[in-house]
Amino acid sequence: MLLDVESNEEFSLIRNSLGEFLDREWKTLGAKKDKVSDNKVKEIFEKIKDLGIFQLIKENRVYGLLINEILGENLLPGIVSTTAMLGLDYPVTIGVNYVPEADKAEMIITPRGIAKRDEVELKEVESPDPTLRIYKVNGGNWKKLELDFNRAVIMASAQIIGHGLATMKQIVEYAKNRVAFGKPIGSYQAIKHRVVDDVIGLELVRSRYILGNIENPYNLLNHAYRKAFRAALDSIQFHGGIGFTSDLDLHLHLKRIIALQKIFKIS
pLDDT tens track for 173-229: 878 878 778 787 777 778 888 999 999 999 999 999 998 879 899 999 999 999 999
For the whole model, what pTM was predicted? 0.94
DSSP 228: H
Q: What is the mean pLDDT of residues 152-162?
A: 97
Q: What is the mean pLDDT of residues 92-98?
A: 97
Distances (CA, A) of 231 to 31, 156, 161, 195, 201: 19, 17, 10, 8, 9
Q: How confident is the model at residue 58 (pLDDT cuts 50, 70, 90)?
A: very high
Q: Give the range among 9-23, 29-43, 85-99, 101-115 with minimum mean pLDDT.
A: 29-43
With contact defined as beta carbons under 8 Å apart, do 44 and 77 qualify? yes
Alpha carbon distance 92, 101 (integer Å): 9
Residue 4 predicted with pLDDT over 70: no
The torsion region of residue 240 among left (phi > 0), alpha (psi -120 to 50) and beta comes to left
* 161-184 tens-digit pLDDT: 999 999 999 988 878 878 778 787
Structural domains of the chain, ranges and CATH numbers in brackets:
149-263 (1.20.140.10)
